[in-house]
Structure 1
Amino acid sequence: MEIRRAETADLEQIMGIYQYAREFMRQTGNPGQWGENFPPRELIEEDIRVRQCYVCAEGEEIQGVFAFILGEDPTYAVIEDGAWLNEEPYGTIHRIASAEGAKGVFAGCITYCKGIIDNLRIDTHRDNKVMQHVIEKAGFQKCGIIHVADGSERLAYQFSLENRTNV
């Protein structure tokens, strides 16, 4: 699986993956995290423009998509019911989604991101049991609760090479 920066030509495939992901979340007991419209097309267009949108591809077929952002994330400035493992520079993974039937997207994403920086943060909705499982399986530690822009809470996780326990 190749991981590369997304291009404008990838947009329709990417939006189709997000549509599938929203339906999958509804079917697995997580209807509220992305609702009917998240992420909006304009956000993905901006992610592509600023070169923080990545795709996992097999040939011409996109199997997954994620945003990877280096630097401080304002969403993570305040953490409740816990603490970050450290305050070292980090990368954040947002909006990760897989195409129907795709395998290995999360693992590929994490391996790619760890190859750039060994201190990563990610969050997910309390109802997203599938994502919680793969995040913890990848060696992330639950650190507390953060709130996203609309005020809703998310479970916050961090992977730090210096703090790893089960990788």
Structure 2
Amino acid sequence: MEIRKSRPEELEAIMSVYAHARKFMAEHGNAGQWGTTFPPQILIEKDIQEQRHYVCVENEKITGVFYFAEEEDLTYSVIENGTWLNDRPYAVIHRIASAEGAKGVATFCINWAYEQTGNIRIDTHENNVPMQKLLNKLGFTSCGKIYVEDGSPRIAFQKCERPLYLD
């Protein structure tokens, strides 16, 4: 598997991966996180244009998709019922999804992103149990609750090389 930036001509394949992810989430008790239309194509087009959208490719086929950027995320500026592990610059992962039948893709993508920065923040819906289990397995710490743009809550996770208490 390899990770690279998404290309505009791959938009149809990328949106197909997201359609599969919405179906998977609905079938596994998490129909509310992305509903039937998230992420919208216009958002993914913007992510690609800004070179913040990535694909995981295996045997010339897109097996995973995600947003990745080293940036301060406004939705992470307020955290309830906990605290971030540190206040150092971090990268975020959003809108991660695997293609139908793909195995180990989310793990590969998240590990790749962590290798780029050593300090990752990510969030997920309380009903997204598969993602919560994966993040725990990969060594992420549940840090508290944040709220996304529409006001709905998410469980916030972070993984870093040196937690705050070592600063």
Q: TM-score, normalised by structure 1?
A: 0.96
Please state if 1:122 is matched with 2:130: no
Q: Which residue of 1 aligns with 2:92?
A: 92
> Residue by residue, what CA displacement relative to the aligned partner does 1:31-58 show, whole Å, maximum 9, x if unpaired?
1000010000000000000000000001
Counterpart CA distance in 2 for 1:145 and 1:39 is 21
Partner SS for 2:162? helix
Counterpart CA distance in 1 for 2:59 and 2:51 is 20
Partner SS for 1:162? coil
Alpha-carbon shift at residue 115 of structure 1 (Å):
1.9
> Residue by residue, what CA displacement relative to the aligned partner does 1:9-51 show, whole Å, maximum 9, x if unpaired?
1111100000000000000000100001000000000000000
Alpha-carbon shift at residue 60 of structure 1 (Å):
2.2
Q: Which residue of 2 aligns with 1:58?
A: 58
Alpha-carbon shift at residue 118 of structure 1 (Å):
0.3
Counterpart CA distance in 1 for 2:138 and 2:121 is 12
Counterpart CA distance in 1 for 2:16 and 2:125 is 21
Alpha-carbon shift at residue 111 of structure 1 (Å):
2.0
Alpha-carbon shift at residue 142 of structure 1 (Å):
0.1
Q: Which residue of 1 aligns with 2:34?
A: 34
Alpha-carbon shift at residue 112 of structure 1 (Å):
1.3
Counterpart CA distance in 1 for 2:148 and 2:155 is 10
Q: Which runs of 4+ in 1 moved over 6 A?
A: none
Q: Which residue of 1 aligns with 2:25?
A: 25
- Percent sequence identity over matched residues? 53
Please state if 1:8 is matched with 2:8: yes
Counterpart CA distance in 2 for 1:113 and 1:60 is 20
Give structure 1 stretches of 5+ with no counterpart: none
Please state if 1:48 is matched with 2:48: yes
Alpha-carbon shift at residue 122 of structure 1 (Å):
0.3
Q: Which residue of 1 aligns with 2:67?
A: 67
Alpha-carbon shift at residue 106 of structure 1 (Å):
1.4
Look up the equivalent residue of 1:104 and give its one-letter code: G
Alpha-carbon shift at residue 59 of structure 1 (Å):
2.8
Q: Tell me the matched-pair count.
A: 163
> Residue by residue, what CA displacement relative to the aligned partner does 1:64-108 show, whole Å, maximum 9, x if unpaired?
000001120001000000000000000000000000110121121
Q: Which residue of 2 aligns with 1:79?
A: 79
Partner SS for 1:133? helix
Counterpart CA distance in 2 for 1:134 and 1:39 is 21
